[in-house]
Amino acid sequence: MPILESDWKKFKELRKIALDRFCQGVLADAKTIAQHGALSAHARYGMLYGLIQDRNKDMAQAFDHNSQSRSSALRGLWLMVMHDLLTDAELSVLSEDALDYISEVVRQPYELEWVDEIVRQD
């Protein structure tokens, strides 16, 4: 379902906000992982690698594949809301149609999943 022309213009601004928030979140999580002194450097590296891989997939879905055209913008918006990248106040500028489309989205903000470090004894 294509987004309305009036929503498309607003969506492009919301997309910028969400993308910046997404990137800030990834950088904050990367910093948290890098500074976690209880894990070895190797464990932190592995976590950072996984974080970047996972978030890069999410970024591609929300910001590349599903937000470059009017026909797929609502799907991108759905993903941005699901990842808790836009507030209700920011979304309130959209039409009733767009708000209805995302009304069932369950917000699932990112959380770090810490690894249990396995110490090998050779």
* Model confidence pLDDT, tens digit, residues 44-102: 999 999 999 999 999 999 998 767 889 999 999 999 999 999 999 999 999 999 999 99
Total structural domains in the chain? 1
Q: Which amino acid is at 28?
A: A
39 domain-assigned: yes
95 domain-assigned: yes
Q: What is the extent of the structural domain holding 53?
A: 5-102
Q: What is the pTM (predicted TM-score) of this model?
A: 0.88
26 domain-assigned: yes
116 domain-assigned: no
66 domain-assigned: yes
117 domain-assigned: no
18 domain-assigned: yes
58 domain-assigned: yes
pLDDT above 50 (res 122): no
